[in-house]
Amino acid sequence: MKVASSNEIRLLDKEAVEKYGISHEILMENAGAAVARLILHTASEEDTVAVIAGPGNNGGDGLVCARHLASHGMDVHVYLVADPERLSELVKKNLDRVALANIPVEKVTEKNVEELQDVLPFYDVIVDALFGTGLTRPLEGVYKEAVEAINDSGSLVVSVDIPSGINSDTGEVMGTAVKADFTVTFGLPKIGLLLYPGAEYAGEILVSHISYPRSLIEDDRIKVETNDPLYPPPRQPDTHKGDYGKALFIAGSKRYYGAPMLASRSFLKAGGGYSRLATVSSIVPFLAIRAPEVVYEELEETSSGTISYRNLEKILKLTEASDIVAIGPGIGLDDETARLVLELIPRINKPLIIDGDGLTILARDTTILSTRKYPTVITPHPGEMSRLTGKPIEEIKKSRLKTALEVAQKLGSYVVLKGAHTVIATPEGKAYINLTGNPGMATAGSGDVLVGAIAGMYGIGYGFEEAVRMGVFVHGLAGDLAAESIGMDGLTAVSIMNFLPRAMKELRENFERIYNENSLPVLV
Ligand SMILES: NC(=O)C1=CN([C@@H]2O[C@H](COP(=O)(O)OP(=O)(O)OC[C@H]3O[C@@H](n4cnc5c(N)ncnc54)[C@H](O)[C@@H]3O)[C@@H](O)[C@H]2O)[C@@H](O)CC1
Ligand SMILES: [K+]
Look at residue 235 in the predicted model and tell me its pLDDT.
Answer: 82
Per-residue pLDDT band for 7 (boundaries 50, 70, 90) equals: very high
Look at residue 240 in the predicted model and tell me its pLDDT.
Answer: 78
Residue of 137, 158, 186, 209 best suited for mutating to test ligand 1, as the one with most atoms within 8 Å of CB: 186
- Ligand 1 binding pocket includes 160 (Cβ within 6 Å): yes
- Ligand 1 binding pocket includes 128 (Cβ within 6 Å): no
Query: Are 376 and 354 contacting, i.e. CB atoms less than 8 angstroms apart?
Result: yes
185-194, 242-251, 350-359: least confidently modelled range: 242-251
Per-residue pLDDT band for 486 (boundaries 50, 70, 90) equals: very high
**CA 393 from centre of chain:** 18
Query: Are 271 and 458 contacting, i.e. CB atoms less than 8 angstroms apart?
Result: no
Q: How far apart are CA 465 and CA 429, in angstroms?
A: 13
Mean pLDDT of the residues in the chain: 97
For the segment 178-202, what is each residue's pLDDT rounded down to a tens digit? 999 999 999 999 999 999 999 999 9
Instruction: Classify residue 138 as exposed, middle or buried by CB count within 10 Å of its CB (0-12, 13-18, 19+).
Output: middle
Task: Please determine, for residue 502, whether its predicted confidence score (pLDDT) is greater than 90.
Answer: yes
Look at residue 271 in the predicted model and tell me its pLDDT.
Answer: 97
Residue of 128, 135, 162, 168 best suited for mutating to test ligand 1, as the one with most atoms within 8 Å of CB: 135
Q: What does the pLDDT average to over 318-333? A: 97
Q: How far apart are CA 167 and CA 197, in angstroms?
A: 10
Look at residue 362 in the predicted model and tell me its pLDDT.
Answer: 98
Task: Please determine, for residue 101, whether its predicted confidence score (pLDDT) is greater than 90.
Answer: yes
CA-nearest of 374, 334, 382 to 358 is: 334
Sheet holding 224-226, edge to edge: 224-226, 431-433, 423-425, 414-417, 376-378, 352-354, 324-327, 246-250, 274-280, 295-299
CA-nearest of 326, 327, 356, 341 to 493 is: 356
Distance 48 CA to ligand 1 centre (A): 25
Q: What does the pLDDT average to over 412-439? A: 97
Angle at 148 between CA 80 and CA 112, to 5 degrees: 45
Per-residue pLDDT band for 501 (boundaries 50, 70, 90) equals: very high
- Ligand 1 binding pocket includes 139 (Cβ within 6 Å): yes
For the segment 123-137, what is each residue's pLDDT rounded down to a tens digit? 999 999 999 999 999
Query: Are 497 and 265 contacting, i.e. CB atoms less than 8 angstroms apart?
Result: yes
Distance 282 CA to ligand 2 centre (A): 59
For the segment 247-280, what is each residue's pLDDT rounded down to a tens digit? 999 999 999 999 999 999 999 999 999 999 999 9
Q: What does the pLDDT average to over 456-466? A: 97
Percent of the chain with pLDDT over 70: 100
Q: How far apart are CA 163 and CA 184, in angstroms?
A: 9
CATH of the domain spanning 246-512: 3.40.1190.20
What is the maximum alpha-carbon separation in the chain? 84
Q: How far apart are CA 413 and CA 353, in angstroms?
A: 10
330 is in an annotated binding site: yes
What Rg, from alpha-carbon coordinates, does the chain have? 26
Query: Are 499 and 482 contacting, i.e. CB atoms less than 8 angstroms apart?
Result: yes
Q: How far apart are CA 24 and CA 242, in angstroms?
A: 57
Task: Please determine, for residue 435, whether its predicted confidence score (pLDDT) is greater than 90.
Answer: yes
Q: What is each CA distance from 159 to 65, 204, 217, in whole angstroms?
A: 11, 10, 21
Per-residue pLDDT band for 155 (boundaries 50, 70, 90) equals: very high
Query: Are 445 and 494 contacting, i.e. CB atoms less than 8 angstroms apart?
Result: yes
Expressed in angstroms, the distance from the first to the final Cα of the chain is: 16
Look at residue 243 in the predicted model and tell me its pLDDT.
Answer: 84
* 175 CA closest ligand 1 atom index: 29
- Ligand 1 binding pocket includes 461 (Cβ within 6 Å): no
Q: How far apart are CA 193 and CA 160, in angstroms?
A: 12
Task: Please determine, for residue 38, whether its predicted confidence score (pLDDT) is greater than 80.
Answer: yes
CB atoms within 10 A of CB 223: 18
Look at residue 198 in the predicted model and tell me its pLDDT.
Answer: 97
Domain coordinates in residue numbering, the chain: 6-222, 246-512
Look at residue 242 in the predicted model and tell me its pLDDT.
Answer: 78
Look at residue 241 in the predicted model and tell me its pLDDT.
Answer: 75
Which helix or strand (DSSP H or E) is residue 509 part of?
Answer: helix 500-509
Q: Is 157 helix (H, G, I), strand (E, B) or coil?
A: strand
Backbone angles phi, psi at 82, to 5 degrees: -170, 160
**Regarding beta strands 182-186 and 156-160, do their DSSP bridges make them parallel or antiparallel, or are they unpaired?**
parallel
Distance 70 CA to ligand 2 centre (A): 20
Distance 206 CA to ligand 1 centre (A): 19
Q: What does the pLDDT average to over 69-75? A: 96
Per-residue pLDDT band for 356 (boundaries 50, 70, 90) equals: very high
Look at residue 237 in the predicted model and tell me its pLDDT.
Answer: 79
Task: Please determine, for residue 45, whether its predicted confidence score (pLDDT) is greater than 90.
Answer: no
CA-nearest of 508, 515, 510, 426 to 461 is: 508
**Regarding beta strands 246-250 and 324-327, do their DSSP bridges make them parallel or antiparallel, or are they unpaired?**
parallel
Residue whose CA is closest, atom 41 of ligand 1?
A: 58
Please state the ipTM of this predicted complex: 0.98
Task: Please determine, for residue 239, whether its predicted confidence score (pLDDT) is greater than 80.
Answer: no
User: Quick one: which ligand is closest to 163's CA?
Assistant: 2
- Specify the fold of 6-222: Rossmann fold (3.40.50)
CA-nearest of 249, 268, 273, 390 to 330 is: 249
Distance 361 CA to ligand 2 centre (A): 44
* 139 CA closest ligand 1 atom index: 29
Q: Is 296 helix (H, G, I), strand (E, B) or coil?
A: strand
Higher-pLDDT residue of 524, 182: 182
Task: Please determine, for residue 376, whether its predicted confidence score (pLDDT) is greater than 80.
Answer: yes
